[in-house]
Amino acid sequence: MSRAPAAQELSPELLRELRVLVRGEGAGSPRPDLLQTVRQNGAFSGRRVLVTGAGGSIGSAVAHLLSHLGPQCLVLLDKDESGLVNLERRLPTAGGEVRLELADLRFPARVDRVLRRHRPDIIIHAAAHKHVVLLQTQAAEAVSGNVLATRNLIDGAAKNGVQQVTILSTDKAVDPSSVMGASKCVAEWVVLQAARELPRPRIAILRCGNVLGSRGSVVPLFLSQIAAGKQVTVRHTEATRYFLSIEKVAAAVLQLSTLNVPSGCIAVPQMGKPISVMQLAEVVVALSDRPETEIIVTRLHAGEKLHESLFTAAERRRMRERGEFLVIEPDSQKGAEAPAPPAKRHGRFYSTRFGVRPKLTGGGRALLAASGAGPKRQPRTFATASACDFELESSSTRPWLVWLELLLQASHDGDDERCHALLAERFPGLVR
């Protein structure tokens, strides 16, 4: 049976991005329409902006856009020294000051020093571990890179007067089946908890689908297979994904940073309908210099889904359209707590070797090594503040804050098995 032309399934924007990736057509400066969109209110002009994960594909795209928006100082942070140096060489020479910071966000003292040195007004947090298949067997690294790093950054931002933090997340955090998705979902929980507890900064989450051309994504894989003269591999004939171009993601994160939304919002850019991965592979092959390349079907890897979702059932009830975004506002259900008033230090958090954690009362420390029984006065759970379905709280008998500390302890110890087991307590759909 013949297949309908795959190109008809893709938007003009995605086709343009594929031509850039496959043939190099139109590569160069950021698109004028995207620049105009984020330049309208001048939110970045004269400001101090820090981008984490700046050496990666998404972080570098954000940095390129920002370099055209007149920031007073652009701080580029990554633990990949080559990525940072290469990015600096590619940035326009005109504009404000550009500073490089080689740092690992998993070390809270280092995060605090970077923020004290540069005093950013706005932080774009693009650093993350994102490879689903690899992280499925590296749970401790997934937790430290996605959960601990995010919590350290939020705490440092609260202590150093940062006004706005925008966090990049993924649709794989919705009802996760993979370790990567689960770690990103827990990172969302941590962000939403901070938005409730801390008077500043204002925090927003940008949840995206697959980013065309980003490192580790499917299109570069297809291109490497074609260049090597190999067959292009697709893992299921019916697999679909939401796709967005790198430029559109970069523009969306900057737009969200300036959008007047309450702290604790999750925003999803309008991405249309999901796209068949098989048809995407056909377009890539057709655009390549080897259109005769064969496409074969293999199998889904552990943790991979046939189809992704952008929202949970609970989130859909709080979703509304806001310009080019679908925005999930902070939970307003009866019984949900309002953000805590300012207190000494910064809310109910205090520093530990893991970064910042909620202060447990009484025998809280002993709980971290005990069987999981809660303290006399249980910390508030995420049943009223999670980014995932509220019913997940009932899947574990441990109070949320105790569970989180056990997870971070296992990650600190490099215990992949323990991290996976603890994630499985909260996420029944997690695949082994």
CATH of the domain at 113: 3.40.50.720
- 387 has a pLDDT exceeding 90: no
- 2 has a pLDDT exceeding 60: no
The residue to which tokens 């970064």 are assigned: 355
d(CA 233, CA 283): 14
Say if 386 falls within a structural domain.
Answer: no
Joined tokens for residue 233: 């591999």
Specify whether the CB–CB gap between 359 and 402 falls below 8 A. Answer: no
pLDDT value for 9: 65
Mean model confidence pLDDT for the chain:
82
Q: In residues, how long is the chain?
A: 432
Four-point Cα dihedral 129, 132, 133, 139, nearest 10 = 60
d(CA 312, CA 73): 38
Four-point Cα dihedral 352, 353, 354, 359, nearest 10 = -20
- 222 has a pLDDT exceeding 50: yes
Q: β-strands 325-328, 265-269: how paired?
A: antiparallel
Compute the half-sphere exposure of residue 239: CA atoms within 13 Å on the CB side of its CA: 21
Joined tokens for residue 298: 């293999």
d(CA 319, CA 328): 4
The residues that bridge with 230 in the sheet, in sequence order, are: none
Query: Which H helix or E strand runs over 195?
Result: helix 179-197
Amino acid 136 reads Q
Could you tell me the pTM of the whole model? 0.83
Q: Which of 130, 159, 172, 248 is catalytic?
A: 172
d(CA 408, CA 147): 8
Joined tokens for residue 368: 């971290």
pLDDT band at 358 (very low <50, low <70, confident <90, very high): very low
Say if 237 falls within a structural domain.
Answer: no
Residue 252 belongs to domain spanning: 27-214+242-272+310-328
User: How does 203-240 read in b/e, with b if 16+ C-beta sit within 10 Å?
Assistant: bbbbbbbbbbbbeebbbeebbebbeeeeebebebeebb
pLDDT value for 279: 92
- Total domain count, the chain: 1
Say if 224 falls within a structural domain.
Answer: no
Specify whether the CB–CB gap between 412 and 144 falls below 8 A. Answer: yes
Residue 200 CB contacts under 8 Å (≥ 6 apart), including other chains: 158, 161, 162, 163
Say if 145 falls within a structural domain.
Answer: yes
How many other CB atoms are found less than 10 A from the CB of residue 394? 9
Least confident of 80-84, 102-106, 235-239, 317-321: 317-321
Say if 322 falls within a structural domain.
Answer: yes
Q: What digits encode the pLDDT tens for the residues 145-180?
A: 999 999 999 999 999 999 999 999 999 999 999 999
- 203 has a pLDDT exceeding 60: yes
For residues 352-360, give the mean pLDDT: 41
Say if 352 falls within a structural domain.
Answer: no
Say if 399 falls within a structural domain.
Answer: no
273 catalytically annotated: no
pLDDT value for 25: 62
Q: How far is CA 336 from CA 185, 193, 382, 390, in A?
A: 20, 12, 10, 12
User: How does 110-134 read in b/e, with b if 16+ C-beta sit within 10 Å?
Assistant: bbbebbeebebbbbbbbbbbbebee
Joined tokens for residue 379: 């910390």
Q: What digits encode the pLDDT tens for the residues 65-113?
A: 999 888 999 999 999 999 999 999 988 866 689 999 999 999 999 999 9
Say if 373 falls within a structural domain.
Answer: no
**What is the DSSP-derived secondary structure letter of residue 145?**
I
Residue 138 CB contacts under 8 Å (≥ 6 apart), including other chains: 129, 179, 416
Q: What is the largest CA-CA distance in the chain?
A: 69
Q: How far is CA 129 from CA 71, 133, 134, 140, 341, in A?
A: 28, 11, 10, 11, 33
Query: Which H helix or E strand runs over 240?
Result: strand 240-241
Specify whether the CB–CB gap between 22 and 223 falls below 8 A. Answer: yes
pLDDT value for 41: 60
Joined tokens for residue 311: 């929202």
- 357 has a pLDDT exceeding 60: no
d(CA 387, CA 190): 9
